[in-house]
Amino acid sequence: MMSERDISKGCKRGNAKAQRALFDRYSPLLMAKIYRYVGDDDDAKDVLQDTFVKAYTMIDSFAWEGEGSLQAWLTRIAVNTSLNFLRSRKRLSALSVDTADIDDPPDIAEEATATQVNSLDTSTILEMVAELPDGYRTVFNLYCLDGYSHKEIAQQLGINEKSSSSQLARAKAILAQKIKKYINEHNIDNYYEQQYE
Q: What is the mean pLDDT of residues 122-141?
A: 88
Domains of the chain: 4-88 (1.10.1740.10), 96-195 (1.10.10.10)
Determine contact, residues 62/70, Cβ cutoff 8 Å: yes
Q: What is the pLDDT of residue 81?
A: 96
Q: What is the mean pLDDT of residues 81-92?
A: 88
Confidence of residue 16 (pLDDT cuts 50, 70, 90): very high
Helix (H, G, I), strand (E, B) or coil at 66: coil
Question: CA 17 to CA 30: how far, in whole Å?
Answer: 19
Whether residue 21 has pLDDT greater than 90 = yes
Q: What is the pLDDT of residue 99?
A: 43
Q: What is the mean pLDDT of residues 39-57?
A: 94
Count CA atoms closer than 13 A to 188's CA, side-chain side: 17
Question: CA 171 to CA 93: how far, in whole Å?
Answer: 16
Q: What is the mean pLDDT of residues 31-36?
A: 92
Q: What is the pLDDT of residue 22?
A: 96
Q: What is the pLDDT of residue 34?
A: 94
Determine contact, residues 78/34, Cβ cutoff 8 Å: yes
Determine contact, residues 77/51, Cβ cutoff 8 Å: yes
Q: Is the pTM of this model over 0.85?
A: no
- Cα of 71 vs its chain's centroid, Å: 15
Share of the chain above pLDDT 70, in %: 82
Q: What is the pLDDT of residue 116?
A: 64
Mean residue pLDDT across the chain? 83
Q: What is the pLDDT of residue 187?
A: 72
Question: CA 62 to CA 64: how far, in whole Å?
Answer: 7
In the structure, how many helices (H) and strands (E) does the chain have? 10, 0
Q: What is the pLDDT of residue 122?
A: 81
Determine contact, residues 45/99, Cβ cutoff 8 Å: no
> Residues with Cβ < 8 Å from 90, sequence gap 6 or more?
none
Whether residue 189 has pLDDT greater than 70 = no
Whether residue 108 has pLDDT greater than 80 = no
Task: Give the range with max mean pLDDT: 24-28, 99-103, 173-177.
Answer: 24-28
Q: What are phi and psi of 171, to 5 degrees?
A: -60, -45
Task: Give the range with max mean pLDDT: 9-18, 89-98, 171-180.
Answer: 9-18
